[in-house]
Amino acid sequence: MLQIIDSQLKDLLKKAGVTGEIEFSKPPKADMGDVAFGCFGLGGNPKEEAEKLAERLSGVDTRLIASVQAFGPYVNFFFNTSELANLTLDEVNKKDYGSNNIGKGKKVLIEYPSQNTHKEFHIGHFRNVCIGNPLVQLYRKSGYKMIPMNYVNDFGRNVVKVLWYIQKFDKQPKGDKQKWLGEIYAEASKYIEENKEKVTSELDELQTKLEARDPETMKLFEETKSWSVDGFKKLMDELDVEHDSIIYESEVKDRGQEIVDELLKKGIAEVGERGAIIIDLEKYNLGIAVLRKSTGGGLYHTSDLALAEKKFKKYKVDESINITGTEQNHYFAQLFKILELNGFKHKMTHIGYGLVNLPSGKMSSRAGNVILYEDLRDEVFASLKKETVDRHLDWNEDKVEKNVHTLTQAVLKFTMQKHESNKIITFDMEEAMSFDGYSAPYILYAVARINSIKKKGDSKKGKEDFSLLKEIEEKKLLILLGEYGEVVEKALENYNPSTIARYCFELAQAFNDFYNKHSVLKLDDKSVVSARLALCGAVQQTLTDAFSLLTIETVEEM
C-alpha cells in the first residue's frame, strides 16, 4: 500500500478514536474490500468494536474511501478507484518508485557465488548467482552501499586432487580448458575414491607442498588456475554479476593458520585426536569443529576465520552475507560461534539455498553427472531460437540472436528465482520456457504486449484524467502497483528474491485479465484511452523495474 494512502487511513482511524499501533492487512476476498483493520486491541469484543468503528467511519467525507464495512472483527475499507488512480499513478511516475532509504549510511558486503577453481560452473553455482544478484539490487534500492565480492577456493582439496591427477597420469589439456578441468576433477575423484588407502598420503604430501608454495607445484597451480579464472570471468559478465573485488583462499590461508595458533594460546582451541586442532562446540549443540588437520594442513574453517577478519578490516561494512547451499548451514553456525568465542563482534549472515537436481536425482560434480550452466543455457537458447524464428520469419539474424539471448537469461534466472531460497529445485525445461503460467516468458509477453499497445496509441503525453479509471480490473492493477514498495522491503527483510518474482507474475496476470476484458485503444472516448494507456505504461514501468532487480532484461517484441 502506498505510504500516502497508509497515512490517510491511519489519520481517519485516529480521528475515529483508535489509539496505539495501527496495522493493516489484505482481506481474503476482493469483494470484502481493499484493506482491513483488525479491532482486536480496542478493549471490547472485537466484532462489536468493528461494527461501532465502521459506523463512526461511514459518515467521514473522504475522496479515497468509497465505503466502510465491518466483517467479523475487521473494519474493511473500499477505495474509490478514481482517487486511487490519481494517488497511485502519480507515485509510480516518480523517479526511483519503489525505493526507500532504510539503509542510508550503511554498508553491506555480499559474498557470492564462491565457486571453486579447477571445477566446472554448474547450475548449483548458477542458483547462487540468482540469489546474490537480486539481493545486491534490493539492498541498493533500499539505500545501502553495497560491496559485492567473490571468495574463490583455489587452495582446497579439490585443487589438490586435480593437480595430483594431472601429474600422476601426465594429463594434457584439450578443448575448453575450464571444462577440461571439471572433467579431470570428476575422473580424479572417482579414481581417488576407489584407491583411497593407496593415494591419501600422496594427496596429503601435495597439499603440504601447495601450502608451502613449492615452486614446481605452484607453476602447475598458477597455470591451471588461470584457465578457471578466465572462464569464470566470462560467465560473471554474461550473468550480470558485479564484483568489487575477488579474494582467493590462497591469500588468507596463512593468516588463518596464525589465528588457529592464537585460538590455541587462548585455550579456545585444543589439540585433538592424532594432533588435529579442534574446538569443542558440543555445549552449543554444534559438535566438534576441526580447524587444522593432524598433518598440519588447513581446512575451510582455517581460511574462513581469516577471511572474516579481512572483510571487515578492509571494507568496514556493517554486515557480511554469505550465500551457500543449505548443506553448509551447520558449518556456518560453527564458524560464527568460533568467531564469537574469539571476540569477533561484527554481524555475519548466512543464506542457505536448496540444491538444483536433475530429474534423475541429486547432482554431484564428483560423479560427473552435473548439469553444467553452459550446457543448460545452450539447450534453452536453441529451443527458444527455433520458436522465435518460426514466429518471426521477417526478423534478421542479429535481431533473433539478441532477443533469444535476453529470453534465455530470463528463463534461466526466473526459474531459479521464483522458488524460495531454501527449497530444492528440479529444473523442468518445459515449464521454464512456457508462455503460460508462472514463467519468465509469460511476464515478458505482458511487457511486449504493452509495448505494442503504446506504439499503436497516441504517444503525446498530456494530463490524463485518472478519474475515468473505474473498472474492477483497473482497481486491482492500481492496488498491485501501490504495493511495489512494500514488496521490495519484504523481499529484502527476508533475503527472499522470490517475493519479487511472485509480484511480477501477479502484476502480469492482473494486466492480462484487464486486457482480455477491456479495450485500451478501440474506444470512442479518447480521454479513457489516454488514461488506460497511462495505466498500461505504469504496469510496464513497474514490471521492468522489478525485473531489473532480478537482473533480467525485458524485450520489446516476442
If pLDDT is split at 50, 70 and 90, which confidence band does 30 have? confident
Domain boundaries, the chain: 3-79, 112-357, 373-549
Q: What is the pLDDT of residue 555?
A: 93
Q: What is the pLDDT of residue 127?
A: 96
pLDDT, mean of residues 380-406:
95
If pLDDT is split at 50, 70 and 90, which confidence band does 364 have? low
pLDDT, mean of residues 34-42:
94
- Can you name the CATH fold of 112-357? Rossmann fold (3.40.50)
pLDDT, mean of residues 312-325:
96
Q: What is the pLDDT of residue 459?
A: 56
End-to-end CA distance of the chain: 32
Question: Who's near 71: CB < 8 A, 6+ residues apart?
Answer: 27, 32, 33, 36, 50
Range 3-79 classified under CATH 3.30.1360.70:
yes
pLDDT exceeding 70 applies to what percent of the chain?
Answer: 97
Instruction: Give the model confidence (pLDDT) of 195-250 as tens digits.
Output: 999 999 999 999 999 989 999 999 999 999 999 999 999 999 999 999 999 999 99
Q: What is the pLDDT of residue 351?
A: 97
Closest C-alpha among 239, 204, 213 to residue 115: 239
Cα–Cα dist 130/135, whole Å: 9
- The model carries a pTM of 0.92
- Ranges of beta strands (E only) in 92-211 are 107-111, 145-152
The H or E element spanning position 59 is: none
Q: What is the pLDDT of residue 360?
A: 63
**Alpha-carbon torsion 195, 196, 198, 201, what sign?**
positive
Instruction: Return the CATH superfamily for domain 373-549.
Output: Isoleucyl-tRNA Synthetase; Domain 1 (1.10.730.10)
Q: What is the pLDDT of residue 355?
A: 83
Four-CA torsion 177, 226, 146, 407, nearest 10 degrees? -20
| C-beta separation of 144 from 99 below 8 A | no
Four-CA torsion 542, 548, 553, 554, nearest 10 degrees? -10
Average pLDDT, the chain: 93
Inter-helix orientation angle 440-456/498-517, to 10°:
50
If pLDDT is split at 50, 70 and 90, which confidence band does 368 have? low
Give the number of other CB atoms < 10 A from CB of residue 176.
14
Q: In what order do the strands lie in the sheet with 277-280?
A: 270-271, 277-280, 288-292
Question: Who's near 260: CB < 8 A, 6+ residues apart?
Answer: 269, 277, 291, 292, 298, 302, 305
Closest C-alpha among 167, 151, 168, 165 to residue 117: 151
Closest C-alpha among 411, 479, 412 to residue 445: 411
The answer on pLDDT for 60 being more than 60 is yes
Q: What is the pLDDT of residue 461?
A: 62
The answer on pLDDT for 18 being more than 80 is yes
pLDDT, mean of residues 370-389:
91
| C-beta separation of 243 from 111 below 8 A | no
The answer on pLDDT for 44 being more than 70 is yes
User: Would strands 107-111 and 145-152 be described as parallel, antiparallel, or unpaired?
Assistant: parallel
The H or E element spanning position 134 is: helix 123-141
3-state secondary structure of 377: helix
pLDDT exceeding 90 applies to what percent of the chain?
Answer: 84
User: Would strands 319-325 and 347-353 be described as parallel, antiparallel, or unpaired?
Assistant: parallel
Instruction: Give the model confidence (pLDDT) of 420-432 as tens digits.
Output: 999 998 888 888 9
The answer on pLDDT for 365 being more than 80 is no
C-alpha grid cell, residue 121: 560452473
If pLDDT is split at 50, 70 and 90, which confidence band does 358 have? low
pLDDT, mean of residues 365-374:
68
Same fold, 3-79 and 373-549: no
Closest C-alpha among 377, 495, 498 to residue 427: 377
